[in-house]
Structure 1
C-alpha cells in the first residue's frame, strides 16, 4: 500500500470517493445532508483548492497500482498548546470492495509516520459519534476520544 499525492488529473476520482464517504454519513445527522443528488453534480473546487493549499493534501490509496481509496490530510498549529503542531486526517475512505483487508489501518500507520517526519506533536481525526464502526476502527488504531461537538 502506498499513498500517492493527488494531482489535478485525480480530481474526478477524489470527488467520487468523497461523495461516497459523505453519503455514508448522512444518516448520522441532519447536518450531513448533501446539497447534491449525485456525485456528477459535485464541483471539484474544494479538492482543486487543496492543490494550492500547503496545509492540505489529498492522497490516493494505491495497492499494486490500483486506487482503492483516498485520504485528506491537514497540517496545523495551535500556538496556545504545549503540543501545538498536528496532522489531521480530514477524510479517510477505502472503496467498499477493498475494505477489511487492512488498507485503512495501513493508511493510518503511514500517516502516523508522516506526522513524525513533519515534526508534528500529534495526529488527530474526527468521525461521527454514532458511527460505531469508524469509532472502533480509530480506537483500534490507537486514537482516544476527546470531545463531542
Structure 2
C-alpha cells in the first residue's frame, strides 16, 4: 500500500535521523553555533537515550518536515504525576501553514497524556509573536511567566 505524500507520518527519531534533524533545525536557528558532525551524532545518540525524552519526527514520504522534543519529568508533587516539557519545535520553512506542526504537537500531547503527565509546558521567545499565536491555536495558555538564564557568552536566537 502506498502512502499519500500529503499525510504526515509521525514516529520517534533515531540516531539515523541525524541529517534530517540537522536540516530541520536550520529552519529554527539559521545562525546556530556550528557543531562538528561526529560530535553532533554522538550528542544526538546520547540525547535520544536519555530516559523520558522522545524526539518526534513528522515526515511526508521520505522528507522530514517537522520535529519536536518531549521530555517527561518525574515529579513528587501532584500525587507524583509527572509533567512534560516540549522544546525545539520546528517545521521546515517550505511546509509551514499546512497543519503539520499542529499534527506533530498533538502526537506529543497524546504521548504525554499516556504517561500520566498532569501538564505540558513550553517556552517561546517573548518577541516571537507568530510562534505565540501558533501555540495558543494548539491549546497552550499563557498562564505563567517563564524565565531563563543563559550561560555567559551564549548567543540569543535572532527572530527574523
Query: Which of the numbers 15, 21, 25 marks the counterpart of 1:8?
Result: 15
Q: Secondary structure at the match of 1:79?
A: coil
Match of 1:18 in 2: 25
3-state DSSP of counterpart to 1:90: strand
TM-score normalized by structure 2?
0.74
Note the alpha carbon deviations across 1:40-84, whole angstroms, 9 max, x for none.
Answer: 697333322122112212121123453212111111133245684
Residue 91 of structure 1: SS of its match in structure 2? strand
Structure 1: which 5+ residue stretches go unaligned?
27-33
Unaligned runs of 5+ in 2: 1-7, 148-160
State the structure with more CA Rg: 2
Number of residue pairs matched? 139
TM-score by length of 1: 0.79
Q: Give the conservation status (yes or no) of the 8 Å contact 2:86–2:122.
A: yes
How large is the RMSD of aligned CA atoms in angstroms? Answer: 2.4
